[in-house]
Amino acid sequence: MELFETMIQHTSVRSFTDQKLSAELQEQLVLAAQSASSSNFLQACSLIQVTDNIKRKAIETIAKFPVDNGTNGQFYIFVADLNKHAQVLQQQNLSTEHLSTMESLVVAIVDTALAAQSMAVYAESVELGICYVGGIRNDLFKMKDLLDLPKFTYPVFGLFVGYPAEKNEVKPRLPKTAILNTNTYQPFTPAMLADYDEVTTTYYLERSTNMQATSWSEKVRRHFAQARRSNTIDFLKKQGFVF
């Protein structure tokens, strides 16, 4: 029951103390990530821990996330990685044709996300705080240069792990009726949206920091009002994927 309580209290942490993660804990975090399920046991995920201050600063600029603040937290870049598999094929002069597909990319992204979430859940179970940093995708080409990413790799997100200095309130999720259906997809109705907007408007107005007059649907509209990371396809093509 304790794990369940921890999980439903999840919030992203953006402010960390100076407490270092022990070597043992760092080891466990990586093992937890590696123990996640992997499609056909391909293990299409690599981690790059960024400790170099210059690289952290550069990533902070790209991601607009203060990765440099938590100097004693660990910062892992989770890379969807089919480069290892390409090497296996190339060593025997085999084609990478079936590796460079959308399906393979999905496999690698899913493997990567499963590994990260195992790390995240384990981290929170030992009272660490975590934050996913999708902002690294703001400049995929610079991330590639910074981390020397080879063909058939795609940096999906960062995961910052450290001891939380403060935690935000838990955000109210979509109601279960809106996300869980039985046997058939049920559309999200205007009434469900109106109800949820009411819940989220109250949440954003009443939370203790960063109060805003907004709602979930307003956030969604703003999110999709502009082009976001529109060179993703170009990047993935240069990395060897075919669309």
Ranges within 1-30 binding its own copies (CB under 8 A): 3-4, 7-10, 12, 28, 30
Whole-number minimum distance, CB 125 to its own copies, in Å?
Answer: 5
φ/ψ of 131, rounded to 5, equals: -145, 125
Tell me which of 22, 127, 179, 191 binds its own copies, using CB under 8 A. Answer: 179
Tell me which of 22, 23, 93, 185 binds its own copies, using CB under 8 A. Answer: 185
Burial class, 178, CB count within 10 angstroms (exposed 0-12 / middle 13-18 / buried 19+): middle
Whole-number minimum distance, CB 46 to its own copies, in Å?
Answer: 5
Count of residues that interact with its own copies, criterion CB under 8 A: 104
CB 130, CB 161: distance < 8 Å: yes
> Could you tell me which residues come within 8 angstroms of residue 41 by beta carbon, excluding any fewer than 6 positions away?
none
Q: First CA to last CA across the chain, in angstroms? A: 45
- Site for its own copies contains 213 (CB under 8 A): no
- Site for its own copies contains 177 (CB under 8 A): no
Helix spans in 126-159 (H):
140-147
- Site for its own copies contains 149 (CB under 8 A): yes
Tell me which of 22, 91, 208, 210 binds its own copies, using CB under 8 A. Answer: 91
- Site for its own copies contains 57 (CB under 8 A): no
- Site for its own copies contains 211 (CB under 8 A): no
- Site for its own copies contains 183 (CB under 8 A): yes
- Site for its own copies contains 63 (CB under 8 A): no
CB 67, CB 59: distance < 8 Å: yes
Tell me which of 15, 17, 19, 34 binds its own copies, using CB under 8 A. Answer: 34
For residues 15 and 107, give the distance between their C-alpha atoms in angstroms, rounded to a whole number.
Answer: 32
CB 229, CB 235: distance < 8 Å: no
